[in-house]
Chain A
Amino acid sequence: MTSGRRPLSQRGRETLAGYLFVAPSVIGMFVFLVLPMIASLTISFFRVSGFGDYEFIGLDNYRTLLSDPVFASSLKTTGLFTLAFVPTLFTVSLCLALLVKKQRRGIGLLRSLFFAPNVVSLVVVGLVWQFLLTDHVGAVNRSLERMGLSGESWLGNPRYALFAVVVISVWFFMGYYMIIFLNGLQDIPSAYYEAARLDGAGRWRSFWNVTWPLLRPTSLFVLVMTTLTAIGAAGIFDLIYVMTKGGPDYSTQVVMFYIYQRAFQLNDFGYAAAMAAVVSFALMIIMFVMLRITKGGKVDA
C-alpha cells in the first residue's frame, strides 16, 4: 500500500485532537473519582490518623468491623431503609406518572408541583420536616389530632424515626421518578392500547398486559437508581444529618452516616475506608444480582 503522508498525518491529527479533548475530563475523573476509589481499598489496611500518620495493620480494620455492633446495626438499618424506600418510591412514582399521564388543561403545572420538592436542598427539606414534625405542636400532629388520630413523637421515638425518614425521602424523590416513568409511558405506542381495548381489555388488564411489560426497561432503571440512592448516595445522608444525626438510639444510623462519623468526627480514616470498601463490594454484588434476576425475566413473568 502506498499510504501517502497526508492521510496518515490526518489520522494522527484526529487522534491527537481526540486525546486533548478528553484529557481534562479523564484526568479530573481519575484524580477525583477513580484514584480515591482505589485509595479507599489501600487506606483500609492502615491505621490513619487525620493528621497524616499511616501505620500498616493488615486486616485489623476488617477484623474490628466484624465485632462492631454499631456497624452491624447500621447495616441492618440501611437494609431496612432500602427495603422500605425502594418499593414505596417505585409504586408511588409510577402511580403519580399514571395519574398525570393524560394531557389535560394545566397538567404541566401539576406535574411541576409534584416535582417541586426535588429542587429544594435536602438540608432545607430536613429543616422544614423537623418543624412540621415537632412534638405536640407541629403541623403534622395537629392535623392528625384534628382527624381524631393520635400524634407521635415521630423523630424522637426509635420506633418511628426511620419510618419518618423513609416517608420524607419518598416525598422528596417521587417527582423525579414520576418524570422518568412518564417518559417511559409516553414511549408506549397508543396502538397497543387500542388493540387491547378491541380485545375487550379493561384498564386493569391493559395495564398488566401492555403497560407493565413494555415499561420494563424504565422499571429496571428506576430500581437500580433508587437502590443506589438508598445505599450509596449522599442524598439520604443530608436528611439524616439535619434531622436525626443517626438517632434516636441509633435507629436512623445508616451505614453512610456511620462512615462519616468515624472518619470526620473521630478521625478514624482507616476504619471508615474499610467500611466504605465493604459497602462498595456489597453494592456491586447487589447490582449484579439485580441485573441478573431482572434479565432472567423472573420478576415480571
Chain B
Amino acid sequence: MPDTARPPRRQPSRLGPTAVWGSIAFLALLTVAPLLYMVSTAFKQAKDVYTPDLIPGSPTLDNFRYIFSEIPILRYLFNSFLVAAVVTVLSLFFHSMAGYALARLKFRGRDTIFSGIYATLLISLPLIMVPLFLVAKTLGILDSYLGMILPAVFNAFGIFFLRQFYLSFPDDVEEAARLDGCGYWRIYWQVILPMSRPLLTALAVFFFLGTWNSFLWPLTIVQNPDLIPVQVGISNFQGQFSAAWNYSMAASTVAALPTLILFFVFQKQFTETIKTSGGR
C-alpha cells in the first residue's frame, strides 16, 4: 500500500467510545439471543410458541410442570450430576497425583511417560468408540454408572495442567516437609494438594461441565432408562414431542441452566483454565 494514501502523523478517525461499547454490547446480545429465546419459549403457552416476543405475553409454568411430571427429568438430572461429580473428583485426584510425580519426583522413564501421556491428546472419542465399547463390554461395565464414569476420567488435559503448575512451585516448602520426616504421600496430601486448591477449583468446574454436557458415550453404552443422563434424556424426548417446542425448550432450559449458573459464578476460574490451555 502506498504511504501517501494516509496523511502522516494523524490518528485514524476514532469512533466514540460509547459507540464502540454499544456495538460490542449489541453483538454480545445477538450471540446470547438464541439462549434467551430458549428460556423465553420455556415460559410460553403452546399457542404462543411461534410469537416473536422475547417476553412471553402470558407466561406460564405449565411446561415445566408437564416435563417434571411426564418424563423422569429429575432422575436424568440426578444421573448426570452423579456421573459428573464422581468423574470430577476422580479426575482431580488421579491427575494431581500424576502431575505431582511428573513435575517433582525424579524417576527413570519419567519423561517418556510424560510424552506418552501428552501424545494421547490426539486420540478423540469417535475414533476409538468401537474398541472402547468392546473394552467396556469385556470389563462388564456397559450400561452402568461405572461405564459412563471410568472412560471419562482419564485424559492428558488435567495431568498436563497440574504438572505445569507444580513445576513452578518453590522447592523450600516441600523441603521443609521432608525435613519434618514426611513421606511422599504426606507431602502430596498435606502440602501439594492444599496449595493447588485454586487450580483444582478451576479444573473442577471444567471437568464437571464437560461431563455434564457429554452425550455420545452415554448414548452409546446406556440402555437402562434409570441410568440415562439428561443430555441423552432430552434428545430422546425430542423424538417423542417433535413439534411441542414449549416442552422441548423447557427441558433444554432445565438441562442448560445448571451449567450457565456454574459458569457465571466461576467464570474467572473457568476462563483462566482456557487461557492456560492455549498458552504453549
Given the complex, which residues of A lie within 8 Å of B220, measured CB to CB? 260, 264
- Within 37-71 of A, Cβ neighbours of B (below 8 Å) are at 37, 39-40, 43, 52
B113:A34 contact, CB within 8 angstroms? no
Size of the B side of the interface (Cβ < 8 Å), in residues, is 95
* Interface flags, B153-177, vs A, CB<8A=1, else 0: 1111001000000000000000000
A200 at the interface (CB under 8 A from B): yes
CA distance A13 to B184 in the complex (A): 9
Contacts from B to A (Cβ < 8 Å): 6, 8-9, 12, 17, 21, 24-25, 27-29, 31-32, 34-35, 37-38, 41, 50, 52, 94-95, 97-98, 100-102, 105-108, 110, 113, 116-117, 120, 122-135, 137, 150-151, 153-156, 159, 183-185, 188, 209, 212-216, 219-220, 231-232, 234-235, 238, 245, 248-249, 252, 255-256, 259-260, 262-264, 267, 270-271, 274-275, 277-280
Residues of A contacting B105 with CB < 8 Å?
14, 17-18, 21
Quick check: A104 and B128 within 8 Å, CB to CB? no
Report yes or no: A40 in contact with B131, Cβ–Cβ below 8 A.
Answer: yes
B209 touches A263 (CB 8 A): no
Are A119's CB and B209's CB within 8 A?
yes
21 A-B residue pairings within 8 Å (CB atoms): A18-B101, A18-B110, A21-B188, A24-B97, A29-B120, A32-B135, A32-B151, A33-B128, A36-B131, A99-B24, A113-B32, A114-B31, A115-B267, A119-B259, A119-B260, A120-B256, A128-B34, A183-B274, A238-B216, A263-B129, A276-B126
Residues of B within 8 A of A14 (CB): 105-107, 184
Contact status of A128 and B252, CB under 8 A, knowing A110-B28, A121-B212, A200-B8? yes
**How far is B192's CA from A17's CA once the two chains are assembled, in angstroms?**
15
B residues near A108, Cβ cutoff 8 Å? 267
> DSSP majority for the A interface?
helix
Would you call B24 and A110 a contact (CB within 8 A)? yes
Which residue of chain B is the closest to A183 with respect to CB atoms? B275
Chain A residues with CB under 8 A of B278: 179-180, 183-184, 218, 221-222
Q: Is A72 an interface residue (CB 8 A)?
A: no
Quick one: which of A95-152 are within 8 Å of B by CB? 96, 99-100, 104-108, 110-117, 119-125, 127-132, 134, 137-139, 142-143
- Contact across chains for A279 and B135 when beta carbons are under 8 A apart: no
Interface size on A, residues (CB 8 A): 97
Is A250 located at the chain interface by the 8 A CB criterion?
no
Q: How many whole Å from B150's CB to the nearest CB in chain A?
A: 7
Contact A260 B98 (CB under 8 A): no
B interface, by DSSP: helix, strand, loop or mixed? Answer: helix
Apart from A25-B95, A114-B31, A115-B267, list 9 A-B contacts with CB within 8 A: A18-B105, A25-B117, A31-B135, A40-B127, A116-B32, A119-B260, A122-B213, A203-B12, A259-B126
Q: Mark A162-205, 1 if CB is under 8 A from B, else 0.
A: 00000000010001100110111000000000000000101100
Please name the residue on chain B nearest to A42 by beta carbon.
B131
Given contacts A22-B97, A179-B275, contact A117 B231 (CB under 8 A): no
8 pairs of A and B residues whose beta carbons are closest in the complex: A18-B107, A21-B101, A180-B278, A28-B154, A121-B213, A39-B131, A36-B131, A36-B128
